[in-house]
Amino acid sequence: MALDNVLAIFMLPLFGAFSDKTNTKIGKRMPYILAGTIIAVIFMLIIPVSAYKDNLILFIVSLGIVLISMGTYRSPAVALMPDFTPKSLRSRANAIISLMGTVGGIFALVSIRVLIPNVQAPDYLPVFIAIAAVMVISVIVLALTIKENKIQRYLDDAEEDSGNTSASMPKDVKKSLFFMLVAVFFCFMSFNAIMSAFSRYAVKVWGLGGGTFANSLLFFTIFAIAAYMPAGIIAGTIGRKNTVIIGLIILSAVYFFAFLITSFSAAIYVVFAFAGIGFAAITVNAYPMVVDMSKSSDVGKYTGYYYTFSMAAQIVTPILSGFFLEHVSYRTLFPYAMFFSVLSIITILFVKHGDSRPEKSVSLESFAADD
């Protein structure tokens, strides 16, 4: 799983940029999505077989191929949203993507709960088959409903008509892009420190036993799901930047109050409910801000940049926060997270581009790059 994050740093911007330059009969993103999904599904089904047979080499090889194949299509798949969505609606569209991602995670958990028997050496193959089936059905629906080339010609005409054909990014936009990506990095440094160490913190500091800590995460997930769509709608009114800042302020407050809690109480659930709301406000709007600074011909590359900075944080922060936990105190976890969330707030204040512009109607110009 650590290897997945490391590969993502290099592969996501690379294959995002490759897809920007690809031109086939089925589009520029679809070849990567179709090929990557097919390869991932095939070798994903080998993973539980190799584990069941205790074949370590086959397990490592099949897992490696799955991670690589998924890395080839992740940026192209995510880039489809800004490819086909007007700028003013991208936060709402990203909210739907986030919601569906959560639904996928819930499906995986339910599959594990239902399909894996409670025995010493269970067979995980039924779970992998169920998830593979959903992947195949999803990509078939995508291929049948998205006529990429037809839509792309429409959008290319929009960009040409709006005069956004410059090959170089203006310096002020580059500056905003840099600060936005750094803000994303700091945000994930903060949030993923909590996610990676929360179970240990709950046991050592709050005295929770067994899987009781999962109840807090359940509150987080429920309120995040409930907040995804409102976060997209609110951004259309007050702007994405302001919505992200509000989300970061909420998370900073959550970290502060969580630090004050020294033993288990109902306040923990309240704190994590607000954490879900803050997280939704950030994730729904941060990615659209990044890609809105690009042209339609560079969306895949900038999608890769977004994931490079977020994945880099997810690699660094468990190590850095873990050092403080082990060598200083577990009580450093929430101050650590608050420090980076505040840094993210300060950094995003320097971002002057990529915000949403409320529009009364969807027109060709809605798809074009910002001035």
Q: Annotate 60-123 with DSSP letters as a single string.
A: HHHHHHHHHHHHHHHHHHHHHHHHHS-GGGHHHHHHHHHHHHHHHHHHHHHHHHHHS-SSSS--
Residues 258-288 pLDDT 10s: 999 988 788 888 999 999 999 999 999 999 9
Residues 243-256 pLDDT 10s: 999 999 999 999 99
**Block residue for tokens 């707030």:** 345
Tell me if residue 34 falls in helix, strand or coil.
Answer: helix
**Nearest Cα to Cα of residue 258 among 204, 331, 208:** 331
- Interatomic CA distance for residues 231 and 229, integer angstroms: 5
Contact 293, 180 (CB under 8 A): yes
pTM of the model: 0.82
Put residue 256 in one of left, alpha, beta given phi > 0 → left and psi -120 to 50 → alpha: alpha
What CATH code is assigned to 171-356? 1.20.1250.20
CATH class in words for 2-161: mainly alpha
Give residue 101's identity as a one-letter amino acid code: G
Neighbour count for residue 159 (Cβ, 10 Å): 18
CA 176 to chain CA centroid, Å, is 20
Q: Where are the domains of the chain?
A: 2-161, 171-356
Residues 135-159 pLDDT 10s: 999 999 999 998 888 877 776 665 5
Instruction: Tell me how long the chain is.
Output: 371
Residue 359: band (very low, low, confident or very high) from pLDDT cuts 50, 70, 90: very low
Residues 52-81 pLDDT 10s: 888 999 999 999 999 999 989 989 999 988
CA 228 to chain CA centroid, Å, is 13
Q: Indicate the burial class of 212 (C-beta count within 10 angstroms; 0-12, 13-18, 19 or more).
A: middle
Contact 192, 366 (CB under 8 A): no
- The 3-state DSSP composition of the chain as helix, strand, coil percent (nearest 5) reads 80, 0, 20
Q: Annotate 264-275 with DSSP letters as a single string.
A: --THHHHHHHHH
Residue 114: band (very low, low, confident or very high) from pLDDT cuts 50, 70, 90: confident
Neighbour count for residue 181 (Cβ, 10 Å): 23
Cα–Cα distance list, 241 to 76, 226, 228, 289, 362 (Å) = 25, 20, 16, 8, 21
The terminus-to-terminus CA distance of the chain in angstroms comes to: 40
Is residue 184 pLDDT above 60, yes or no? yes
